[in-house]
Amino acid sequence: MGVIRTESVLATKQSRTCSRVAVTVFTGTARPSLGHHRPRTVDGMADQTGRDASKRVDNRAEVRDFLTSRRARITPAQAGLPLYGTNRRVAGLRREEVAMLAGVSTDYYTRLERGNLTGASESVLEALATALKLDESERTHLFDLARAANTGSRQRRTTPRQQVREGVLRILDTIGAPAYVRNNRLDLLAVNRLGRALLTDLYRVDASLGSSGSPPNLARYMFLDDRSRDFYVDWTAVARDTVSALRIEAGRNPYDRGLTDLVGELSTRSEEFRIWWASHNVRLHRTSTKVMHHPVVGELELTGEALALPGDGGLTIITYTVAPHSASEQALDFLASWTSQTVARAEASDPAASEPGTAP
């Protein structure tokens, strides 16, 4: 089988002490008690500049910044509201204008925008999404944030080891186009031969991209490997989409330890990631067209399709196709032929190279 599987386990243990002094927690005080430990969330990894890695400990700041940024981008004219005078001190809509459009009181909307979505009904969230003209991705993100707010604080958890089932590996092996399986943190857990040939940079050992034994990660490649800027012709657009995909996952799983650590690492090491993370843009990654410059076959225009695996929570097959009778189709055919010849030579010199689960 020409499918390559990669897995990783991340486990850390944290403990904190306070000189063995028990400190009582009093709610409503201005400063948190030293004895009150809240879970570290993805949103706690970055402030508006992306540099603060510890201040935010729940999803309130995420809710506040998301709603504020969505409100600021809509003008009264876009919302169908009359404009009285030109002396407006806020960008976009005022809070009372959003409240009116959503059919709630100004006080209640102010409470929501300050980060408190606890108890907000589905009808209120729908009205808010309509008032702020949220698209599908943003609406999904808002409901994810509300769901997190209503489940209460939970401890940051280590995601169990994710394994790709043999049946899925066989599917990958039968796909004639480049294909791979990724999780929601953009780790590549399995890839077919043509997929590996296309994404060859991700499978070249580079200590800066992650610890030994970790699966390749598309976000690390995008922001920590300069080769990605040559590989993706429109690097900025692809990189922004990568941040948006991670941001929507952060709203869905705010206590995912692996995602928290990834966001923290990228926020520390990439200024572009920090800036785009702070914009709070979100995107559901289902299909997209990318132009890639491959070192062997040159330029390819590929359309990626995301195929969710309902029986494998968080896992998705990504496969790339090309327009028929196009220059990209010819280039992809040449890459497939070149890959087959390279594999044949490798197997002739090393029979073990043909064993299932090894690199082609």
The model's pLDDT over 78-105, given as tens digits with 9 standing for 90+, comes to 999 987 766 788 889 999 999 999 999 9
d(CA 172, CA 46): 37
The helix (H) or strand (E) run that includes residue 95 is helix 95-102
> Start-end ranges of CATH 1.10.260.40 in the chain?
59-151
Instruction: Indicate the pLDDT class of residue 127, thresholds 50, 70 and 90.
Output: very high
pTM of the model: 0.79
Q: What is the pLDDT of residue 155?
A: 57
Q: How far is CA 12 from CA 9, 78, 157, 159, in A?
A: 10, 48, 10, 11
169-195 burial string, b = 16+ CB within 10 Å, else e? Answer: bebbeebebbbbbbbbbbbbbbbbbbb
Instruction: Answer yes or no: is pLDDT of 56 > 80.
Output: no
d(CA 2, CA 191): 8
Question: Which two structure tokens, joined as six digits, stand for 51?
Answer: 């540099």
> Of 32 and 253, which is predicted with more confidence?
253
Q: What are phi and psi of 189, to 5 degrees?
A: -95, -25
Mean pLDDT of the chain: 82
- Angle formed by the axes of helices 257-269 and 235-252, nearest 10°: 140
144 half-sphere exposure, CB direction, 13 A CA radius: 19
Instruction: Indicate the pLDDT class of residue 355, thresholds 50, 70 and 90.
Output: very low
CATH code for the domain defined by 59-151: 1.10.260.40
Q: What is the pLDDT of residue 83?
A: 78
Mean pLDDT across 270-275: 98
Instruction: Indicate the pLDDT class of residue 342, thresholds 50, 70 and 90.
Output: confident
> Start-end ranges of CATH 3.30.450.180 in the chain?
161-354
> Of 352 and 301, which is predicted with more confidence?
301
- What burial class does residue 66 get, using C-beta atoms within 10 Å of its C-beta: 0-12 exposed, 13-18 middle, 19+ buried? buried
Question: Which two structure tokens, joined as six digits, stand for 128?
Answer: 């808010």
Strands (E), the chain: 4-5, 179-182, 188-191, 287-294, 298-308, 316-321
User: Is residue 34 classed as helix, strand or coil in its secondary structure?
Assistant: coil
d(CA 322, CA 301): 7
Instruction: Answer yes or no: is pLDDT of 11 > 50.
Output: no
- Residue written as tokens 């995601």? 159
| CATH ID of 161-354, from 3.30.450.180, 2.60.40.10, 3.20.20.70, 3.40.50.1100 | 3.30.450.180
Q: Which residues contact 323 (CB under 8 A, 6 or more apart)?
A: 301, 303, 329
Which of 88, 97, 41 is CA-nearest to residue 70?
97
The string of pLDDT tens digits covering residues 136-190 is: 999 999 999 999 998 865 555 666 678 899 999 999 999 999 999 999 999 999 9
d(CA 354, CA 126): 54
Q: What is the pLDDT of residue 25?
A: 30
Any idea what DSSP says for residue 130? H
d(CA 47, CA 62): 10
The helix (H) or strand (E) run that includes residue 263 is helix 257-269
263-293 burial string, b = 16+ CB within 10 Å, else e? Answer: bbbbbeebebbbebbbebbbbebeeeebebe
**How crowded is residue 208: how many other Cβ atoms within 10 Å of its Cβ?**
8
